[in-house]
Amino acid sequence: MKSVLITGANGQLGKSIKKIAANYPQLNFVFATSSDLDITSIESIEKKLFNESFSYLINCAAYTDVENSEKEPEKAYKVNADGVRNLVLVCKKQHIVLIHVSTDYVFDGEKGAPYLVTDVTNPINVYGASKLKGEQHIEHLMDSYFIVRTSWLYSEFGKNFYKTIFQKAKEGANLSVIDDQIGSPTHAGNLAEYILNLIIDQSKSYGIHHFTDGEILSWYGFAEKILKENGLADKVQLEKAKNYRTFARRPKYSVLERHI
């Protein structure tokens, strides 16, 4: 039986993997929260990985606050770049296959067409740049790895766009949502299944993968879909936001071409 360690187990993806873990009885899962295993400390990683035998490590740990990454870039790089390098060094030493989750934000959004795994990266915010640095550590130092880029993740867990829109609509609030960013919303449960199937299938297609649910929407279009799915479209007013500004720049078109 293969043992699989999941870091960042309290996040959306970590909880989504835990939810379906029983469907994979041939795998032994160990779920580690940030308090169980701090990826910014190589000593913490070594303690966990040297004391137990793992075949795979799924890294769901990340600093994902796009806005605060601009204000506190050292925090983003500490987790998304330095922390990943720590995992790489220990996984390589222990012959563990690393499955690392990355983001559409490694691209600048100027292509105007879905991004291929071979397209040149060019992040336009600190979050994207820190995630790209983590990818580069993996590519430069490892051979047996999967970098799985995804986008606009949502689930029943944690804070995400889907839950926010649904909750505000239930409360009867009018909604104002931007229409000038295009991407592919992806359910964390589907991403969890994809990642676990890489393990079950004993895939050797190492390198960068793109996984999304495939549908191309703006944030406004996604909000529209959420309201329709939940029978709330006629109960609240949804309008396109004008002159909405954020501290961090975001790619206008960050659709990923599925490469799986």
The dihedral formed by the CA atoms of 158, 164, 168 and 170, expressed in degrees to the nearest 10: -60
pLDDT at site 143: 95
Task: Per residue of the chain (260 residues), give pLDDT as tens.
Answer: 899 999 999 999 999 999 999 999 999 999 999 999 999 999 999 999 998 899 999 999 999 999 999 999 999 999 999 999 999 999 999 999 999 999 999 999 999 999 999 999 999 999 999 999 999 999 999 999 999 999 999 999 999 999 999 999 999 888 999 999 999 999 999 999 999 999 999 999 999 999 999 999 999 999 999 999 999 998 899 999 977 777 799 999 999 998 76
pLDDT at site 74: 98
Q: Tell me, yes or no, if 127 is annotated catalytic.
A: yes
Contact 60, 8 (CB under 8 A): yes
Q: What's the pTM value of the predicted model, to 2 decimals?
A: 0.96
pLDDT at site 136: 98
pLDDT at site 199: 98
Among residues 105, 115, 127, 154, the one annotated as catalytic is 127
* Residues 6+ away with beta carbon under 8 Å from 120: none
Residues 55, 67: Cα–Cα separation, whole Å:
35
pLDDT at site 260: 60
pLDDT at site 211: 98
